[in-house]
Structure 1
Amino acid sequence: MFLTPLRSDSTSCPEIVLPASQAHHPTARACIGRDTIRRWCLGAPILPARRPVTESRLTPEFFQREDEEDDSVFYSFPRLVVHIDEGAIAAVSRLFRDLIPENSDVLDLMSSWRSHWPEGHPKKKLVGLGLNRVEMEENPDLDEVVVHNVNNDPELPFEDESFDAVVITVSAQYLTKPIQTFNHVARVLRPGGKFIVSFSNRMFGTKAVLVWRNSTDRGRVDLVGTYMEATEAFEDIQAAFLNPDKSPPGDPMYAVYSRKAAEG
């Protein structure tokens, strides 16, 4: 089974409409602030959201899925494949190199066969937490493997302040309890630690949650920012379109990233 791109132009999804005069502005980054969630979208200038997503709007039905069978069943068969193309992989690796300091303790949350760790970038330890042990044991970047279902139990099995960085790569669409999970990400991060969530438009459609499937790419950026804000543990929340100049066209790659607020 391969991931397929799913898009929606539903009017219910959170997004902004830009004037034609601004459609090709070079800006491709935004900061999601505490008071006003500012919107970012492909090649567009930073504008306030017309309809910002708020935690109160994220009711349980938003996280329903077509396939509600336990995730351990769906992921029991090893898929030794990458889920994004080479250009998108390179973009993720560059982001990790730029944002994660050398010799860091890193958690690859919802990990699988590849972590896309940048070649030659020193790390102290990279721990993979996911659902398929075979996939993770075949991952050459991982130093440790932990099998754990965050949808059944969002509490991550690590001590407080264990990591300098946590990454979720092309898996955020499957989180049924994202805010609880992000709260535990904050718990296991050290103060100032980086949290990087990157994603494309590909997914296992039956396992992706409703709010993700019914949002545009722009809406998904805002959604992940809302998850981070809801924890009240992260600061300097930013978003980026990682490969806007990709040629030939391929998988688009987006990221929302932040750092854990320092204590005191």
Structure 2
Amino acid sequence: MGRLLAEGDKFAPPGVKDFFLPPIFGGVTKPMVLVVLSIIIVATFFLITTRNMKVVPSKWQFAAESVYDFSRNNITREQIGSKEFRPFVPLILTLFTFVLVNNLFGIIPIIQFPTMAKIGFPLALAILVVYPLHHYVGIRKFGLGGYFKNQLFPPGVPKLVYVLLTPIELFLKFFMDPLMLAVRVFAAMLAGHLILLVFTLGGEYLLLQAPVVLKPVSLVAWAFAIAMTFLEAFIQVLQAYIFALLAASFIGRALAEEH
């Protein structure tokens, strides 16, 4: 995804159409391959770094322990609570590292494609994993009636207010929450990668196609592209954290006694 787009002598900026990549073989596309690759990377990283653990950790063991500790204590425990968080640590750790690796693909040379910029992948995580799980654990704890009562009828609210509040709660918690969980990371990855493409391909166009007087401006465009790459890396990590944080928050909310 790095070709120069030009229409005659005019620069045609990259757009959403450039995220629809042709199949590599059969119906298999590059994003599909990257998703499988990310699973292999995450699994291999933790298997290798925890295979021969020592009291004084190596740098790779320390890295694995840091990621685990961050997911366990800073995300899962804080959002779900110290009494009930332990069973959900593997899930939140997996979500965080999986989304992180797929996001970081966007700034890795040659690969240069953030998988989460394809809406189907974050939607699958939100709707097929997080959404059913957080409702299931709530129903298992409180029963079907008790769970819906907790979710849709917050205590301490005047009864007449429920006429307006309950439909809003129903819409937000059962429809909008999973959608916004997916759209948040998708939109950030799509917009960030488009910005990188604009500066990178714009610099290429200025160097190869623009008048001589404008060719030095290509260096400015590439300088911005480098700066945006560092910013995009930060956003990629942040969005992986937010995705895992919100997933844990939904579970914690489902398990809470009162809302």
| Larger gyration radius, structure 1 or structure 2 | 2
Does the pair score TM above 0.5? Answer: no
What is the TM-score of this pair, normalised by structure 1? 0.30
Greater helix percent: which structure? 2
More strand by share: 1
